[in-house]
Amino acid sequence: MGESMEKYLWAKKNRCENAPMWLPLMIHLEDTMEICGRLFDNWLSDGTKDFLINSIDTGVENKNDLVRNLCRFLGAVHDVGKATAIFQSKKSFNGDSELDSLILENLQNAGFKNIDFYDFKSKKNIAHNVSGQYILEKFGVNFCVANIIGAHHGRPISKLESDGSSSYFSSLYQDDDTNSTTAIFWSKIHKKIFDWAMINSKFSNVDELPLISQPGQVILSGLLVMADWISSNEDYFPLIGIDECEVDSDRAELGFLKWHDSQAKEWEPQAYYDEIYKARFNFNSKDAQKKISEKIDEIDKPGIMIVEAPMGMGKTEAALVAVEQLAQKTKRRGMFFGLPTQATSNGIFTRVKDWLEHTSGGRSIRLIHGKAQLNEEFSNLPKSRNIHGEDGLGVNEWFAGRKLSILDDFTVGTIDQILLCALKQKHLMLRHLGLSNKIVVIDEAHAYDSYMNVYLHQALRWLGAYKVPVVILSATLPINKRNELLKFYMAGAGYKFKKVSKPEGFETNEAYPLLTYNDGQSIKQFSDFEKESGRDYTIIRKNRDESEDIIKLINESTPDGGVVGIIVNTVKKAQELFLKCIAEYGEEVVELLHSSFIATDRYRKEKQLLNTIGKKCKRPDFKIIIGTQVIEQSLDIDFDLLITDLAPMDLILQRMGRLHRHTETKRPDNLKTPKVYVLNCDNYDFDKASTYVYPAYLLFRTEYFLPEKINLPNDISHLVQLVYSDEDLELDDELKMKYENYKRAKDKLVEEKKIKAEAYCIDKPLISSISTDKNLSDWIKNSNHVAEASDIKAYAQVRDSTDTIEVIALKSCEDGYEFFDKKGVLNSSDNKTAMEIAKRTIKLPNSVYYSKGKYLIDQVIEELEKYYLKNFASWNEQLWLKNNLAIVFDKKNEFRILDKILVYDPKYGLIVKKEDENERI
């Protein structure tokens, strides 16, 4: 066999500007090998390198060089499976027979006999990652390493699958006879490539290739996928002429520099110092912020820390300072900041951007959610493939893809990005790689239900396994929920939770504010913060009959006017109450806000509210604001009087945060002290609609423990712990039976949600020992293929709620469609118009997905996808509009889907009716 016959094998082929082009396999392997090494040297954080060093089983002293060499080896052999008869005979993707003939002719002339007569169609088409794993195992490579090669197309394969390659010997070796000249010829080709890879990655024999822990395999496979995608990018690594076999020696260096400017100044996180809050945020630290930062400064082995404190304490700024402290301690190079919704993510993005601009070093920042490009602050940032130190903050365009965005250094997004870390789907290792490089912040942790917590808990296990520091923020958490977060993270980090050192009173600690954290195997808590006197709120219960006569209640409470906030549990109830109040007081007095408005309408309404009853506004003499849960989330508005539906205690406390919010506000004399009316407190007989939103069990315990006075913030933790604890209630027999029925229903629902979530949740990391038995092969077996289709479907899988399913809502008009709030036919090919169209989204409420007791979200998405293909196929060419679902309401403002009629009115929002009965639901 000739000296360099392998150089005629192809890895890629295409026609560029009508010229036949290709990329020899050996060049692509060398490109990927070099990129793997450079990613290890210049992109991977030192903290992740340390994790990888500790994830290998070897007696070698210089483990850093060993891991770097292992990375290069993986790149050098990742496509060895392309050196097979079945791959080399493949046709061009676009059916270019001339190009295929030229490639085969080169192979034939080089000595690959009869390859041009190989019957591709009659052979088993083995994917080259499978044959690559098989070939490596034949050379004695341990399964930990070989399995990474099998996984490099995003889905790990089992040993059985790669062993099966031997059943299709001719697919790999061109001949069924294992001892034939042709089979031996191909075996020698494989050996030459393998020996070349070993030499260039400084291994002398296969026994030097280390065993790797399962979490280590995940990160290395992610790094290999990333390297392969960079080296396959023809902007960085172009194809060459069909008659060429060599490239310039500096090809890999130049290609890498196009992707990454190695001269850019790295981010330099700072340890805590007295003036850091002034330097970052232009204000002096508050007592709680200072003490939290000082405590974090004392931690030797940081892991998870949970900050529970009221709004206004400055948790966000404390978390950002903690990110720097922890990044400096654990040698990470970035951050992910996760929040419950797109709106809250948008709000934090500005603050993160401002903080980052006050730190040192060149940075790339990214907002991650379905509507990120509509955030003007993000979309207006300078875009460059190379973010140079002198250019300041910008957006690295290479990370724009849905599977790549989490790899960027600084990312802000919805909590889904963390939850998806635990969902079985292709290329999951990229998400793990991205998070392993960062400090993770999770805000508003109290907002996640039992379904989402299945994914959150498993994600925390894996973050613990990678030794990624996690900062969790919450207004307050039930003790058992707080402890579960600690338990899952520490289990992933290898600590036995029952045996770790815990502070006195850990299981019952109701201190508030409270910092809870682990320092290695010890859990510690700190609550010695300055105490506030707080403010007393009077709580007045209203029974069912009194709650129905809301007009009477308002009239009795506002003889001298005032701003009344009414928060109810469902959109339907808010709309009905809005109609009653309009009939009584007129449209000028009453405002309505809920989640079933088109986003632009909701944004306009929120802005009007902020301008009307926000901070330092000229307030109206009399105003009624009716809304749902959206009012309790991140709106800086101020009521004189609050009327609220009974809800779980923590949410009532959140709603109370909008009452007498601004101390400087002038109020009517009878409303100078904060007063809260709680509706439907009627001997534990709850309205049915509320029990669809919240478990009756929690409503029962809230009504039971609801006091006549609440001091904020001092009563927050105690009241939440009472409701979410298992403390027995003193009840008569009739009420006890009702309560126990509610409890059984709640337990059943929680269990059902857990079982449903666990169906596609990855298993816990295998960390107890390092062996070939603990590998990637079954890591995402039976993955969720539905979730892989789109972001919309992926997000739907990790939330047991449909509030993430959004559609663009437009109105039919002559010759096309228009906006509800602006007349005139729309041209979606115009970029500015397309951007405005993309802003008109609306969330479809739960009632759309239920029919005759069945949950039909998949059928709804399928119908909407069909509708999209039929009516909006041209949107696939438009950046702002592709991958969006959309509906066009007819001239009656109606849209039909399955057995529902959706009706939209800019004044009331979306109404859902049953088609057969034409009644609201």
What is the per-residue DSSP string for 455-480? Answer: HHHHHHHHHHHTT--EEEEES---HH
- In this prediction, residue 594 carries a pLDDT of 93
pLDDT at 647: 96
Q: What pLDDT score was predicted for residue 296?
A: 97
Paired with 596 in beta bridges are none
Q: Please report the pLDDT score of residue 391 as a whole number.
A: 47
Q: Report the C-alpha gap between 275 and 293 in whole angstroms.
A: 12
2 neighbors 113 (Cβ within 8 angstroms): no
Is residue 348 within 8 Å of residue 410, measured between CB atoms?
no
Spatial distance between the Cα atoms of 629 and 645, rounded to a whole number of angstroms: 10
Q: Is 444 left (phi over 0), alpha (psi -120 to 50) or beta?
A: left
Alpha-carbon torsion angle 467, 473, 474, 475, nearest 10: 150
How far apart CA 429 and CA 781 sit, in angstroms, is 13
pLDDT at 390: 45
**Is beta strand 514-519 parallel, antiparallel or unpaired with respect to 302-308?**
antiparallel
Q: Which residue has the tokens 């996928």?
A: 225
Residue 533 in contact with residue 539, Cβ under 8 Å?
A: no
Strands 19-24 and 854-855: unpaired
> Could you tell me whether strands 10-16 and 19-24 are parallel, antiparallel, or unpaired per DSSP bridges?
antiparallel
Burial class (CB in 10 A: 0-12, 13-18, 19+), 634: middle
pLDDT for position 165? 75
Coil, strand or helix: which one is 81? helix
CB neighbours of residue 178 within 10 Å: 12
Q: How far apart are CA 839 and CA 842, in angstroms?
A: 9
Question: 314: left (phi > 0), else alpha (psi -120 to 50), else beta?
Answer: left
Lateral strand order in the sheet of 709-712: 590-593, 622-627, 562-567, 641-645, 675-679, 535-541, 709-712
Point out the residues of the chain with pLDDT beneath 50: 1-2, 263, 385-391, 802-803
- The secondary structure of residue 60, as a DSSP letter, is -
Site of tokens 């666990």 = 758
Instruction: Write down the pLDDT at residue 121.
Output: 65
Measured CA to CA, the distance from residue 561 to residue 666 in angstroms comes to: 12
Q: Could you give the CA distance from residue 218 to residue 428 in angstroms, rounded to a whole number?
A: 9
